[in-house]
Structure 1
Amino acid sequence: MPQFMPFRGLRYTPAAGRLDDLLAPPYDVITPAMQRALAERNPCNAVHLELAEGGEERYARVAGLLREWEERQLLARDPVPMLYVYEQEFIEGGHVYIRRGVIAAVEVQPWEAGSVKPHEFTMSGPKEDRLKLLQATGVQFSPVFCIARDRAGQLRQFIERVIAELPPTAVATSFEGDHHRFWAVEAGSYEMRQLAPLLAESFYIADGHHRYETAVNYRNWRLAQGQLPPTHPARFTMSAIVAADDPGLVIRPIHRLVPRPAPADWRRRLGDAFDIEHVKLPDGEPERTEALMALLETCDTVALELEPRQVYALRRRSGARLAGSVPAGRSEAWLGIGPNVLRYGVLEPLWGISDGDLAAGAIAYTHDLEEVFAFLDARPGSSAAFLLNPVSIDDVMRLADQGERMPQKSTFFHPKLGTGLVFYPLEP
């Protein structure tokens, strides 16, 4: 099982400004407009480190910026190793959620070791970018988001005790309106004994597969240059560990947008795999959205614009074979998740879309219904969209335990962890 340890985090000082203006999301969800807005909030906003503008020269520029901020005492390193308790409060679907975790340094291991488990595949481009950034700066800016079953309940108990006994070290409201609370806890033998049962747990990557694989690649790069002691920071990666039963674990669905018209014989091409129901939606908002969400709970996918301005509920028939070329050896649990039902039951039969086509950008993705409507409105009669239900936490862990990864863009854990609460130096 992976080891984990406290670390001497690098954190903003009061001289850098209000923490509200310093936080950013991780790089992979920052749009160009958001990047500009964050950069304007504060010249020290974490976006300047996490997602700097420019070409290859930007890596050296970020390294220089990091040194400058430390010299100006805008960033300072904690004097002793810490564990960091982290709480996010946010609104989703009109409900208030709170998600809590512990940020620590988790030992990086290749997937084959089986102790840290992925649930999605990754792409080479982001890993190359992140590795160059790590090599230039020697600092990890965003934590990997991990889930642990926490069978003994010690993670939850540790977090609750810290929150009950200590005032927050820092509080902030981020760009997106989420509330962040943060406790830096000096980690002695007592604190580590409290969390010792986690050493018997597997960790599941919820978000940050590219960052985790980059940490493995960075460790290997450092090992190629010489020996690293067992507790050297370069053998670890900054991770936020959240209990699997945390009530604030929210997964949003990721809907599929197809910039092609449906074939006229789409019903025939779906074969006998689905029961197809034509649905009439109410006029106006929010009635339309509410009706779509209620309908989605009753089926595998809601199809929009297979015929102009029409809505269909697709329900997979029990035991029915999907018409696509399903890879051999896959479990029914793997095939049964929404992204795979759509991939092999709809996208391939209707348009011949393959995994290679998906990797090349044949379809687009969004978790925002308004973006779905805008996409269809911009392409009347020449596109389609499919709404999916979210994949469950149980599915994520069960398939990871089976060694079966989901397609890219299967899960969207919401909200993303904040970038800027603490950074992880890769030197002692």
Structure 2
Amino acid sequence: MAEIQPLRGWRYAPELSQQIDAYVSPLFDVVSVKQREALYRNPLNSIHLSVPRGEDPAGEAQLRLRQWQEQGILRQDELPGIYVYYQYFRLAGSAREYCRKGFMCHIRAYDWNEDVVLRHENTLPAAVNDRAELLARTQFQTSATHGLYRDEDFELECYLDEAMLNPLYQTEEDYQGARDVLAVIQDARIIRRFQQVLAQRQVILADGHHRYEGSLAYRRARQQAAGAAYTGREAWNYHLMYLTNAAADDLRILPTHRLLLELPGGLTEAELLARLAPYFTVLPLDDPYDLPERIAGKPWAFGLYLGEGHVYKIRLRPEVHPQLDWDTTSEVKALDLTVLHYFVLEKALGIVGPEAQRQWTGVAYVRNFPECLTRVDRGEARAAFITNEVSMAEVERVCYSGAVMPPKSTFFYPKTIGGFLFSSIQDAEANSPFYAAFHG
């Protein structure tokens, strides 16, 4: 199963890491334009490496990385380690403070068909190529993807908690309101135990499919170029990943709602409701802010908001579910979002098939529930379909079935941040005296 390795992490110099909040950044695929501009104004912010810009973005990142290393802005730890990463956060409407516990390490970049790292969504080739090009030029990984392993015994958590007694640094509050804390484990005996536990498990990729596939593409290219000299131990065989225990109740998946920016063919509200009626029971409601509660925990139930005074709870009629004839697994067909995409987007709106729906520009994916209502009220969208969150059990069932979910099915919260820890996959890493000690 999964082979993991410690790494000699690159981090901001101690005098800079005391103000680490100034240098961390959101992941490249969730940062907003406004956030980007504010971060770019800081010449030392990690966004210059993770989301570089210019006529040759990858070249700009390569040049800046070299400068930061030469100037001591980034420094490499002397000893290899497993980097413990905790994220403390709260959810709206709850007084509880959650703590998602995990650790960052290198994991072998397995091809999908090896069934060691499992995906739950498809990727866009352009985004994968962008990540692969950046990796090829810099040979530097700026933010960990998020992977899940399941350990009902929670064997590794005691080591994580012990390391957290002496943190390296922490943020006050990142862009999403979470507090991030980093520590390190450099005890070789404990590191080997981490390796033994993961060697018995598969890993589900929760977040970062494009970055992971970028690593796969780069590894394949290097392997082909190496030819008969390839050993499998080269540093570029590995990928930076943040691993968390899927059995923990601090692993949160938030819903992503569907906002229809248009109704195909100029459909009116009455026509839309008439097209939904053969498939759904439609219940009018008074208050749109009741929608999340009214659908909570109910399979195949959705909120529908069409503007002030036009609020509905809709729920699929169970007897029509067998009509769902997409070529996928029963685990995917059972998902709320598959039901929504098939019976609303395809049957009611005529956007036929998953690929056509992926390409359709008339739908937006919005995580913030009040934003959905506001954009409909402002006339920026015609309808909002409010959804329940996907459960971890559903993610696991789909991944183990070998299928993928509809687009934007999961939003694991909080997101990891960039700039907290960097890793190098240059050839020289394999020459470290510590490298061979952990490779069996």
Q: Kindly tell me: are residues 184 and 228 of structure 1, through their superposed partners in 2, closer, same or farther at Cα, counting changes over 3 Å?
A: farther
State the AA in 2 paired with 1:359. R
Aligned to 1:150: 151
Give the secondary structure class of the aligned counterpart of 1:265: helix
Q: More displaced, 118-127 or 367-376?
A: 367-376
Q: CA deviation at 1:318?
A: 2.5
Partner of 1:69: 68
- 2:222 partner letter: R
Alignment partner, residue 285 of structure 1: none
CA distance in 2 between counterparts of 1:383 and 1:271 reads 18
Counting only pairs closer than 5 Å after superposition, residues 375-386 of structure 1 correspond to structure 2 as: 375-379=375-379, 383-386=382-385
Mapped contact 2:291–2:313 kept (Cα < 8 A): no
Distance 2:243 2:168 in 1: 19
Rounded to whole Å, the distance in 1 between the matches of 2:182 and 2:209 is 24
Please say if residues 6 and 187 of structure 1, whose CA atoms lie closer than 8 Å, have aligned partners that are also in contact.
no
1:273 paired to 2:279? yes
The one-letter code matched in structure 2 to 1:129 is D
Task: State the 1:187 CA deviation.
Answer: 4.2
Tell me which residue corresponds to 1:189. 189
Q: Give the TM-score normalised by the residue count of structure 2.
A: 0.89
Supply the distance in 2 between the matched residues of 1:298 and 1:146 (Cα, whole angstroms): 26
Letter in structure 2 aligned against 1:223? Q
Matched, 1:416 2:415: yes
Cα gap change, 1:279/1:190 in structure 2, threshold over 3 Å: closer, same or farther? Answer: closer
Output the CA distance in 2 between the equivalents of 1:308 and 1:322. Answer: 34
Please say which of residues 361-370 and 99-108 is displaced more in the overlay: 361-370
Does structure 1 residue 99 correspond to structure 2 residue 100? Answer: yes
- Which residue identity does 1:72 align to in structure 2? Q
| 1:296-335 equivalent positions in 2, closer than 5 A | 296-297=295-296, 299=298, 300-305=301-306, 309-321=309-321, 326-331=325-330, 333-335=331-333
Q: Whole-Å Cα distance in 2 between the matches of residues 38 and 271 of structure 1?
A: 48
Which amino acid in structure 2 is aligned with residue 425 of structure 1?
S
Superposed CA RMSD:
1.9
Residue aligning to 1:401: 400
- 8 Å Cα contact 2:254/2:410 also seen in 1: yes
Aligned pair 1:352/2:354, yes or no? no
Residues 202-233 of structure 1 deviation map (CA, whole Å, 9 limit, x = unaligned): 10011011111111111001112214433322
Give the corresponding residue for 2:220: 220
Unaligned runs of 5+ in 2: 430-440
Residue 102 of structure 1 deviates from its aligned partner by: 1.0
Residue in 2 that maps onto 1:47: 47
Distance across 2 between alignment mates of 1:247 and 1:407: 24
Per the normalisation by structure 1, the TM-score is 0.91
- For 2:282 and 2:326, locate their aligned partners in 1 and report how far apart those are by CA, in whole Å: 25
Q: 2:177 and 2:321 mapped to 1: Cα distance?
A: 45
Residues 135-185 of structure 1: CA deviation (Å, up to 9, x unaligned): 11110111110010114422223212323xx41011112233321111122
Question: Would the alpha carbon gap of residues 322 and 183 (structure 1) be closer, same or farther in structure 2, given more than 3 Å must change?
Answer: same
1:28 — aligned with what? Answer: 29
Distance 1:60 1:191 in 2: 35
Aligned equivalents of 1:265, 1:302: Cα separation in 2: 18
Verify the 8 A CA contact 1:81 1:187 in the aligned structure 2: no
What one-letter code is carried by the residue in structure 2 that aligns with 1:348? E
Deviation at 1:295, TM superposition (A): 1.5
3-state SS of paired residue (2:151): coil
Find the counterpart in structure 2 of residue 425 from structure 1. 424
Instruction: Give the % identical residues.
Output: 28
Shift of 1:339: 1.3
Correspondence for 1:86 = 85
Distance 1:96 1:8, change over 3 A: same
Contact persistence 2:305–2:373 (CA under 8 A) = no
Residue 29 of structure 2 aligns to a residue whose secondary structure is helix
Q: Measure the CA separation in 2 of the matches of 1:308 and 1:374.
A: 10
